[in-house]
Amino acid sequence: MEHDIGSKIKAARVEKKFTQEQVAEVLGVSRQTISNWENGKSYPDIISVIKMSECYGVSLDYLLKGEEKMSAYYDFLEESTNVVKSTGNRNKIIIILSYLLIWSLAMIVFWFFTSGSDAMGYSLMFLWIVLPVTTFVESVLIGKNDFFGKGKWGSTLFFGLMYMLAEYGTFKMANNIAFNKLNAPDFGMIVAGVIISAIGILLGSLWKKKIPSLRR
């Protein structure tokens, strides 16, 4: 009975009569990577193990349960899991900061580098092109990478609020100053931002779940 991860995934692949090339295509890695895993030259990450479990029709328990030969792989998994968590947290911060940076730069440009009709045109471009595209792309990334888990849908409210503040902080605020009056924010902009973000997260989530099948 095989006890190391490489031997187990090789045995499962051979049992299903899959080639290393076929498996590599499904996992999005090279054939040499599959060979290295099976020969014990390197270890697959846990996501790849899960995908191989699905492709080969074997349980994770079978692939991961073993005796002393599996201890090295368990150590690898623990270390790689910590790396993944650290990378995931860093990517979440990058997503949020990149959005806030684009949002802030757009506001600065509107107030300090545009005037008159240019300001009106820039405001419309910011509200109906730059911000929606940025919101959509960031939301797709959140969905694809499953950032924040189930809480990712709560981020749609964040994008909605920022969308409303963008409209109020540019076009509406300029009108308030020009006509010396105070208008309330357009709360309908929240709905627009939420819808754009929700569509992006949904598409990103579907993208993440779309795993090619080896079965023909």
pLDDT in tens, 2-33: 457 888 999 999 999 999 999 999 888 999 99
Backbone angles phi, psi at 181, to 5 degrees: -145, 165
pLDDT at 9: 92
Distance CA 21, CA 93 (A): 36
Least confident of 38-52, 79-93, 134-148: 79-93
pLDDT at 118: 76
Distance CA 122, CA 114 (A): 8
| Band of residue 215 on the pLDDT scale cut at 50, 70, 90 | very low
Sign of CA pseudo-dihedral 81, 82, 85, 86:
negative
| Band of residue 79 on the pLDDT scale cut at 50, 70, 90 | low
Section 67-84 average pLDDT = 56
58: left (phi over 0), alpha (psi -120 to 50) or beta: beta
The structure tokens listed for 132 are 């929606």
| Band of residue 97 on the pLDDT scale cut at 50, 70, 90 | very high
Where in the sequence of the chain do the CATH 1.10.260.40 domains occur?
5-66
pLDDT at 70: 54
The structure tokens listed for 181 are 């009056």
- The topology under which CATH files domain 5-66 is 434 Repressor (Amino-terminal Domain) (1.10.260)
CB burial class (10 A; 0-12, 13-18, 19+) of residue 148?
A: middle
Distance CA 197, CA 189 (A): 12
Asked whether residue 84 carries a pLDDT value surpassing 60, the answer given is no
The structure tokens listed for 130 are 């730059």
Cβ neighbours for 68, distance < 8 A, ≥ 6 positions apart: 3
